[in-house]
Structure 1
Amino acid sequence: MQLKSVDVSKTASATTIIFDALKQAIVEGELEDGTPLRQDEIAKMFNTSRIPVREAILKLEEHGLVTSKRYKGAVVSSLTQDEVREIFDFRALLESNVIAKAVPKMDDQVLRKARGYYEALATSTDPSEWGDLNRKFHETHYAASGLTYHLAEIDNALNRIDRYLRARILMDNGVVRADSDHQEIQEACEAGDANRAAELTFRHIEKAREKLLAFLD
């Protein structure tokens, strides 16, 4: 199992540290679908007892990243194509609404930060950066909304599918970097056009859904 181990024997937040490490490994695809999460092995890696490991795995189950299976214990969750469709439908509705609320609140600092991520994504030649830059570009826009509950739900939805999106981006050889959708969304935000930003975001997510389903198929 490939994880960044940390000695948490003297740390009060052992559960949080283990949860964050496992979540990152799952989201970034280091732990593939169906990978078993063996509590003894993980506890040894982090130099702790099984208790915080068990608590971290329970939190991962709550986020939909881990499933408990009979005779196998906890394993990394997988998604059916119907589940992928449902998550993307949810994202399209939620994210288009959030960016519409965010645009009027975007100041120059937010817009510059988002454009920085867009330009970095368009020019990066490092595949390991593409997934992170793509996500940061969108999250920077959404954060301006101040809708903390909505943002948490978006984060959870993205965590469920992020490893598949990252794999597709790599298989596309970085086509997403040159996607005109990003430029149009950024320009709509800079123009203060909330309705257009929402419409573009909705279409962008629908397009990503179809590309991902084709990739999974």
Structure 2
Amino acid sequence: MSFPVVVLISGSGSNLQALIDQSLQGDLDIDIKAVISNKASAFGLERASKAGIPTHSLDHKQFESREAFDQALMQVIDQYQPKLVVLAGFMRILTEQFTRHYEGRMLNIHPSLLPKYKGLNTHQRALEDGETEHGVSVHFVTSELDGGAVVLQAATDVQADDTADSLAQKVHTLEHIIYPLSVKWFSTGRLTLENGIANLDGQALPTTGMRYHNALT
């Protein structure tokens, strides 16, 4: 029986598409039970519908508080009883109540080599700091913004002619490789969170997670 997953998005859903494609190809034995967005216009909802996946949109602006929105979101998610919640470009800061509810079974992907560049505008910030490499991290979600245990990272060299847009394109390519892999590890029981530390095959991972070496240069 396929592993039940719910995916949260806010935008185009390219990482969602990578998960859909790998599950259709048989590389990833997951069942995406639903895709939920806080924006009804998110293109990722069309991707999900095309794949026959149930969709929901929940406009955060219609709720009086962050807590009220998260409570409603939990109710929608939990009706599908997922074993993993995947944040794929879900642009919301989540409350502690929400993150505690899914602790150890919620993953996010962030476009930097954490712990560097938490938050927004990561590509521009890396360029301004003169970084020679940049990349992407998959991590468990906690109440600390982009602060949960890192699972897997992939890096790319920063070239002299790189812009924020060109870096974003290179990082996107890496995202579509390492996010499905991380989800696969979790769905097959290889990846767990123990006392705030990511473990792979029963071994504690370093604070920056595993490094995916077949990265773009």
Normalising to structure 1: TM-score of the pair?
Answer: 0.24
Identify the structure with the greater strand proportion. 2
Normalising to structure 2: TM-score of the pair?
Answer: 0.24
By relative contact order (CA 8 Å, sep 6+), the higher-ranking structure is: 1
Greater radius of gyration (CA) = 1
